[in-house]
């Protein structure tokens, strides 16, 4: 019943979409992280002129489907072609690739900034006061006290967000990008063997997400070294 020949035939085709999937995921996650951190830090500022627009942006991008965001940027912004051409941005918004990257990045920025903001808020106030009373500057306090603790606190949630982003890249196929899901959809409509294609493409995504989860678990382990009571038991080395 199981046709291994068919699997052998479609797997290379599906893997052909993997570079694009990885590219979309990595670009949006990395750029999104930088933007998310910027927004999370900016919200520590008390000024409402800074905080309110950020809250609006975050609310908009967390409250609407990613698909609407992609369509809004690809088709919606494209409506303003003459204006975009005038400022030299039409080249960017004409390409489905850049539209997908922009939508995915803004989406993960909104979610990520909330995760990081929560992490920063979880740092006990006493620690910040202690740092300040030791004479650390505002920058030093963030660099050496607040952010390391905030990152560790935020890591598990941020891991979930990364997995959601890897899954989210599949929506790029709707604006004609042939990443893994786009190729899978093409194969399904050609062969009508939905189950086999699903297993194959699904296995690619599961492997990818499994790798993400393991990498983050390793990172979390490395970041909580001081929380491990007896290091010698973990490493198996000789305690000094």
> Quick one: which of 34, 55, 80, 235 contacts another protein (CB under 8 A)?
80
Identify residues 204-223 at the interface with another protein (CB under 8 A): 205-206, 209-210
Q: Give the residue with the Cβ less far from another protein, 39 or 200.
A: 200
The rounded Cα 238 to chain-centroid distance in angstroms is 39
Q: Does 76 bind another protein (CB under 8 A)?
A: yes
Kindly state the smallest distance separating residue 189's Cβ from another protein, in Å: 7
H or E element in which residue 9 lies: helix 4-15
Residue 176 DSSP symbol: T
H or E element in which residue 156 lies: helix 147-168
From first CA to last CA, the distance across the chain in angstroms is 60
44: three-class secondary structure by DSSP:
coil
Structure tokens at 145: 């006290």
Q: Give the residue with the Cβ less far from another protein, 76 or 223.
A: 76
- Locate tokens 């490493």: which residue? 235
Interface with another protein (CB under 8 A), residue total 41
User: Are the C-beta atoms of 43 and 109 separated by less than 8 Å?
Assistant: no
Q: Give the residue with the Cβ less far from another protein, 42 or 84.
A: 84
Structure tokens at 46: 């008390």
Q: Does 68 bind another protein (CB under 8 A)?
A: yes
Kindly state the smallest distance separating residue 74's Cβ from another protein, in Å: 9
Interface residue list for another protein (CB under 8 A): 59-60, 63-69, 71-72, 75-80, 163, 167-171, 173-174, 181, 184-185, 188-189, 192-195, 198, 201-202, 205-206, 209-210
């Amino acid at each position: 019943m199981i046709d291994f020949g068919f699997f052998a035939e479609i797997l290379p085709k599906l893997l052909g979409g993997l570079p694009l999937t990885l590219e979309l995921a990595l670009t949006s996650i990395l750029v999104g992280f930088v933007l998310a951190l910027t927004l999370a830090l900016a919200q520590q500022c008390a000024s409402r002129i800074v905080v309110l627009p950020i809250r609006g942006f975050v609310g908009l991008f967390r409250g609407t489907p990613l698909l609407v965001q992609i369509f809004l940027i690809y088709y919606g912004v494209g409506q303003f072609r003459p204006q975009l051409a005038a400022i030299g941005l039409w080249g960017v918004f004409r390409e489905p690739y850049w539209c997908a990257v922009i939508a995915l990045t803004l989406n993960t920025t909104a979610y990520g900034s909330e995760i990081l903001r929560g992490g920063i808020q979880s740092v006990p106030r006493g620690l910040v006061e202690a740092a300040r009373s030791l004479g650390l500057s505002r920058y030093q306090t963030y660099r050496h006290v607040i952010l390391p603790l905030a990152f560790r606190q935020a890591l598990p949630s941020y891991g979930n967000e990364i997995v959601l982003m890897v899954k989210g890249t599949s929506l790029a196929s709707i604006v004609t990008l042939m990443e893994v899901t786009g190729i899978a959809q093409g194969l399904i409509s050609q062969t009508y063997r939905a189950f086999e294609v699903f297993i194959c493409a699904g296995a690619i995504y599961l492997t990818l997400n499994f790798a993400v989860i393991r990498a983050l678990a390793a990172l979390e382990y490395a970041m909580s070294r001081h929380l491990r009571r007896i290091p010698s038991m973990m490493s198996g080395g000789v305690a000094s």
